A and B are shown apart, each in its own frame.
Chain A
Amino acid sequence: MSKVIVVTSGKGGVGKTTTSANVATGLALLGYRTVAIDFDVGLRNLDLVMGCERRVVYDFVNVIKKEASLRQAVIRDKRVENLFILPASQTRDKDALDVEGVGRVIEDFRAAQFDYIICDSPAGIERGALMAMYFADEAIVVTNPEVSSVRDSDRVLGLLDAKTRKVETGERVKTHLLLTRYAPGRVAKGEMLGYADVLELLGIPLLGVIPESKAVLQASNLGTPVILDPTADAAQAYLDVVARFVGEERPQRFLDVPKRGFFSRLFGEPTAYAG
């Protein structure tokens, strides 16, 4: 049975594409047949982060419009077996996506025996984002430790409970929180929310914490997902995340921060801001 996973956030630039690339790569490294679909029509980023931009001939929209077959459009990763990418179009807009077309593509991947279908959502809560979440079985909600990102994630969690096919059949999309770009030092100084505060505000299980890391930017520029360089801290974090996702228990790392409530800082201990 294939699992459809949407990587979503509401807010832009929080690490959805980075997460899609790394989680897809990590699952494929474990031997799962995995495809990552770029729903960010008009921007096209996933192929860059995964280093296959020069091999894009046809894209997701071509398949939806039946201008190309799935076989023609899907790119097989050169480094990792079992890993595939369906790139987005750079020339169309998000209205090119429709429920019927997206549903057909997802069904074709299911029929082709993929274990995981990862949907990299665009930012926002408009059509593109709704299309990316509509067929999801599970959602990875990517959040940065700041108030606006948490608020947007909350919004998206509401949409996942209302605007998905699961809901129409009386089920719920299983949700996971992924806290990215986490900098414990800045949390300690009160410049960022701590993981405990984010968890309390969103109330969904924590899949993992990805530290703020220079290695991520370098990896994206090279077109090699950071998870392929196990010496990097962010790679370790993503390896943990993928292991937990397939059911392994691993203790949380990268969150060494004194526990202090957001509200106690806001209302109780004004001196804490001085850091």
Chain B
Amino acid sequence: MASPERDPQKAFTLKGTSTPLTVLCLRSSDLERIERQLATTVGQTPSFFQHAPLVLDLEGAAGVELQGLVALLRRHKLAPVALRNPPKALREQAISLGLALLLPGNGRAGKPREAKVETPSPPVVTSATFGVTVTQPVRSGQVVYAPQGDLVVLAPVSSGAEVVADGNVHVYAPLRGRALAGVHDRTEARIFCSSLEAEFLSIAGHYLMADEIPEAMRGKAVLVCVEEDRLVVRRLGPL
């Protein structure tokens, strides 16, 4: 029963997480302009930004003076932690400033939440992960979460259970509990199930409560997707 956390021999354990991070996508390398916008943005929702860990994306501002930028952000009580897809020229400097480098495909933090600081160009995320497959029933009170990818469930999801994914949710059995897909604002995510009996459906924050799910879709094989800012439920298979 000695779980690694309790093992007195070990000073620490490593755990994967998928903590959502805010990305600052720069479009200008003009520090003054950046500062002006920061003052208003951070001023509007100061609690959201207080010491918030920040990933920097310099794609639109390759020539920025990195040391000055970092100092500026810290002055505004932001905590830059990493550089995403850094140009080669900036890598050494980033490391010396204590920033981590997020290179395409190097792991979990490579797919952070796109933030409201600036509306970014289409998501840069390409690293496909294998996702999570569950073969046993998901019972009442249990939550299964697939960070970064799809969740595939091959057994029933009970009423009172919750299945959650950053990508799509597939349930090849009755879905009686709650299903949430694209939880980090991925509106293109979908929910698929072979028998829809769900209590709650949500994609990227849009949702349907049990009594809003169309009666005609109950017990049917369906897909659920976002269209025009609403969740729609469609029959699966040949029409």
- Which residues of chain A have C-beta atoms less than 8 A from B160's C-beta? 151, 154-155
Do residues B139 and A161 form an inter-chain contact, with CB atoms below 8 A?
yes
Binary interface encoding of chain B residues 193-205 relative to chain A, with 1 for a CB under 8 A from any of its CBs, else 0: 0000100000000
B156-182 to A contact mask, C-beta < 8 Å, 1/0? 101111000000000000001000000
Q: Are A158 and B140 in contact (CB under 8 A)?
A: yes
State the CA gap A99–B1 with chains docked (Å).
10
Cβ-based interface call for B142 (8 A): yes
B141 lies within 8 A of chain A by Cβ: yes
A157 interfacial by beta-carbon distance below 8 Å:
yes
| A194-213 contact mask (Cβ, 8 Å, vs B): 1 or 0 | 00000001010000000000
Given A155-B160, A203-B155, are A263 and B218 neighbors across the interface (CB < 8 Å)? yes
Docked Cα-Cα span, A162 to B176, in Å, equals 21
Instruction: Report if A158-B141 is in contact (Cβ < 8 Å); known contacts: A168-B1, A263-B197.
Output: yes
- Asked, given contacts A161-B136, A161-B139, whether A154 binds B218 with beta carbons under 8 Å apart, the answer is no
Closest Cβ–Cβ distance, residue B218 to chain A (whole Å): 6
Cα A151 to Cα B142 in complex, Å, equals 12
Q: How long is the Cα–Cα vector from A203 to B158 in the complex, in angstroms? A: 10
Cβ–Cβ < 8 Å partners of B137 in chain A? 157, 203
Cα A159 to Cα B139 in complex, Å, equals: 9
Q: How large is the interface on B (under 10, 10 to 19, 20 to 34, 35 or more residues)?
A: 10 to 19
B136 closest partner in A (C-beta): A161
> Smallest CB–CB gap between B111 and chain A, Å?
28
Complex-state Cα separation, A267 to B156, whole angstroms: 20
Q: Is the CB of A267 within 8 A of B140?
A: no
The answer, yes or no, to whether B215 is at the interface (CB within 8 Å) is yes
Quick one: which of A99, A125, A155, A267 contacts B218, CB cutoff 8 A? A267
Quick one: which of A99, A158, A201 contacts B142, CB cutoff 8 A? A158
Bound Cα distance from A91 to B227, whole angstroms: 61
Are A201 and B139 also in contact (CB < 8 A) when A168-B1, A263-B219 are?
A: no
Provide the bound-state CA to CA distance between A243 and B28, in Å. Answer: 78
User: With A and B bound together, what is the CA distance between A165 and B156 in angstroms?
Assistant: 24
**Chain A contacts of B218 at CB under 8 A?**
263, 267
Chain A residues positioned under 8 Å from B176 (CB to CB): 201
Least CB separation from A10: chain B residue: B140
The CA of A203 and the CA of B154, in the complex, are separated in Å by 13
Instruction: Look across to chain B and name the residue whose beta carbon is closest to the beta carbon of A168.
Output: B1
Chain A min CB distance to B194 (Å): 14
Residues of A within 8 A of B (CB): 99, 125, 151-152, 154-155, 157-159, 161-162, 165, 168, 201, 203, 263, 267
Binding site for A on B (CB under 8 A): 1, 136-142, 155-156, 158-161, 176, 197, 215, 218-219
11 examples of A-B residue contacts, CB within 8 angstroms: A151-B140, A151-B158, A154-B139, A155-B140, A155-B141, A157-B139, A158-B140, A158-B161, A161-B136, A161-B139, A203-B156
Using A155-B141, A201-B158 as known contacts, list a sample of 8 further A-B pairs with CB atoms less than 8 Å apart, ordered by residue number in A. Answer: A99-B1, A154-B140, A154-B158, A154-B160, A155-B140, A157-B137, A263-B218, A267-B215
